[in-house]
Chain A
Amino acid sequence: MARRSRVAVEAEDTELNMTPMLDVVFILLIFFIVTSVFVKTPGFEPSKPEAITDVDLPPGIIVAISRENEIWIDKMPYDINEIRPVILALRDENPKAGGIIQGDKEAQAGIVMQVQELMTDLGIDTRVSTD
C-alpha cells in the first residue's frame, strides 16, 4: 500500500505543470501584439542615396518621394499640396511615430526639405532615409 501510493505520487510528480509556461508565453505574446506598430509602407521603392553617417531608424510614418516628385503615402501618390491632411491623419493614428522620408536620388531637394519641414511642423521627428 505504502509503496503503491509512493509510486503513484511519483508518477503524478513527473507530469509537467505547464501553467507557468503558458503564463509567460501569453504575456510575451500580448506584449508583442501591443507594441507592434502597423507601419503603412508607401507603395513605392525609390532608389535612395547612400550615406556614410546613417543610423538605424525605428519604423514610423513612411513617405516616399519619386523621381517625378510624386509623394507616395500608403500606396497612393499625392502632390505636395495634398499631403498635409494625410500626414495629419497618420500622425493622429500613431502620435509617437517618427517620420521617414525615402527620397529618390533624383527627387528635388526642395520637395524633400518641404516635406520634412511640414512633418516637423506637425510635431513628427523626421529623418531622411538612405542606403
Chain B
Amino acid sequence: MRRRVRHGGDDADVDMTPMLDIVFIMLIFFIVTATFLDETGIDLTQPPPPPNQDNLDDSKSAISVYVDGKNRCSVDGRGSDCDRVVLTVESLLADKPGASIILKVHELADNLYLVGLKDSFDDKGLTSKIEIIKG
C-alpha cells in the first residue's frame, strides 16, 4: 500500500490509451495525405532570350514548326499532319544537323498541340523554343 503511494508515478492513474489512439490516427492521416496529391507535368518555361544573341539565331539554320489558330501544323512552311511533325523534323535534321527548332504556336491553338509537340520533341531529346504568335 505504502509502496504504491510512494511510487505514484509508476501507477499512473491516467489511462493514456485514448490519447494514443487520437495521436496515431492523426499521425497516420498526415502521413497518408502527404502522398495523395499527385500531379504530373512538363516544363514549358523558356529561358528569357539574351538580347544580343537574338540576332545570331536568325542566321543559324532553324526549323520552324507552326501550329495555326485552327490547329493545323506545318513544318518550315509545308503543311503536315500534326502527328507526323516530329518525324518530319527529324528527317529535316538529317539535312541540317544542329538546327534549332522553333515551335511557333498561334495564341488560339489548342493547349493540346502546344503540350503535345513540346512533349514529343522533349521525348526525342530535341530542344525546342516556344513562341506564341499573336493575331
Contact = CB atoms under 8 A, between A and B. Distances in A.
Interface stretch (B53-61, B92-100, B106-114): B106-114
Nearest to B37: A59
A113 B114 contact: yes
A12 B105 contact: no
B25 to A, nearest CB: 10
A18 to B, nearest CB: 7
Contact of A108 (B3, B24, B111, B123): B111
B52 interface: no
A106 B113 CA distance: 9
B40 A55 contact: yes
B108 A110 contact: yes
B108 A29 contact: no
A77 interface: no
Interface in A59-75: 59, 62, 65
B42 A127 contact: yes
B45 to A, nearest CB: 6
A100 B27 contact: no
A86 interface: no
Contact of B42 (A15, A28, A51, A107): A51
B110 A105 contact: yes
Nearest to A120: B45
Interface residues of B, number: 41
Interface in A108-131: 108-114, 116, 120, 125-131
Nearest to B108: A108
B16 interface: yes
A43 to B, nearest CB: 15
Contacts of A106: 110-112
Contacts of A76: none
A57 B39 contact: yes
Contact of B40 (A22, A111, A131): A131
A103 B111 contact: yes
A113 B134 CA distance: 12
A52 interface: yes
Given A53-B42, A55-B40, A100-B39, A29 B112 contact: no
A49 B31 contact: no
A55 B119 CA distance: 11
